[in-house]
Amino acid sequence: MRAELLRPDDQVVWQDVPDAELVLLNPNTGGYYGLNATGGRLWRALASRPRSPDELVDELVAAYRVDRDTARADVARLVAALRDAGLVAATAAT
């Protein structure tokens, strides 16, 4: 079974806001979104290259020393919210 890789949707515009958050704009819907430091870290990871949800879990575990189950649940919630907002696209890993 091929792993799914996530990446920011090509239409999404985003910007780091110093000492605050990362903001995202979906021009297709007009939706404006803010991510906290943790969400911003994961977004920047996705922007650097497509990643699987498991790779995002690894990122959280390494950065915040959180247990894998908590990281997995947090990533699942974030990915679901990003998908619902049309902010990420998925591709099959090759």
The pLDDT score that the predictor gives to residue 91 is: 85
Instruction: With respect to residue 15, please indicate whether it lies within any of the assigned structural domains.
Output: yes
Cα separation, 94 vs 87, in Å, equals 22
- In the chain, which stretches have pLDDT less than 70? 1-2, 20, 94
- What is the domain extent for residue 22? 4-86
Q: Give residue 2's pLDDT.
A: 56
- Bridging pattern class, strands 31-35 and 22-26: antiparallel
Q: What's the structural domain count of the chain?
A: 1
Contact 60, 74 (CB under 8 A): yes
pLDDT score of 92: 77
pLDDT computed for residue 6 by the predictor: 97
The two structure tokens encoding residue 91: 């591709």
Query: What CATH number did the domain enclosing 47 receive?
Result: 3.90.930
Q: What is the pLDDT of residue 1?
A: 45
Residue 69 forms part of a structural domain: yes
